[in-house]
Amino acid sequence: MSSSKAVVILCLLALPAWAAGPNLGVPVSPNDIKAWDIDIAPNGDGLPPGRGNAIQGADLYAQACRSCHGKTGQAGAADELVGGVGSLATPDAERTAGSFWPYAPKLFDYIRRAMPWDHPGSLSNDQVYAVTAWILAQNGIIAPDTVMDSDRLPKVRMPNRGGFFVEPRDRY
């Protein structure tokens, strides 16, 4: 083997692992990904500034949510948000946001990313906190005047928090 060939091979070996591709990813600053970086962790990481309670949320719910989810969060055409707490082990189990969801911050996550269905992203952070508070209060999980914000929402313990398990074969 010629020495020049050996140098080429050594250079190839020294390249980082991502040399497997053409390396065409374009770096982007943390500031420039904010509009897309919308997920909220189950422990509340990512929750934005803002606040709201169920009293404020009631009006908003009536305007933006009631037509699909029903006047009280029950018996609407879309998913039930309210009721069924304690029902999961009975034959008439009702899986609602109140009875089934394990993490309160994920209510904020889902409402902000996907609701209202025809205008997702149209609510301000204050409004999302308020509607989240309304759903929690309507389920009896918090009081109607309890303010939800990035500090208090992660501390809300959902009734079915301990209701999930992962089988060994699904553990990673």
Residues that bind another protein (CB under 8 A): 16-18, 20-30, 33, 36-39, 41-42, 67-68, 77-78, 88-91, 93, 95, 97, 100-103, 106, 109-110, 113-114, 117-118, 120, 160, 163-167, 169-170, 172
With tokens 């998913």, the residue in question is 79
**Could you tell me the smallest distance in angstroms from the CB atom of residue 49 to another protein?**
21
**Could you tell me the smallest distance in angstroms from the CB atom of residue 13 to another protein?**
16
* Cα dihedral sign, 98-99-101-102: positive
Give, in order, the Cα–Cα distances in Å from 5 to each of 16, 120, 123.
19, 58, 62
- For another protein, the closer of residues 42 and 140 by Cβ is 42
Please choose, from the candidates 74, 105, 97, the residue with its C-alpha nearest in 3D space to the C-alpha of residue 159: 97
- For another protein, the closer of residues 68 and 147 by Cβ is 68
CB atoms within 10 A of CB 12: 9
- For another protein, the closer of residues 1 and 22 by Cβ is 22
- For another protein, the closer of residues 7 and 121 by Cβ is 121
**Could you tell me the smallest distance in angstroms from the CB atom of residue 154 to another protein?**
13
**Could you tell me the smallest distance in angstroms from the CB atom of residue 40 to another protein?**
8
Give, in order, the Cα–Cα distances in Å from 123 to each of 8, 65, 93, 134.
57, 11, 31, 15
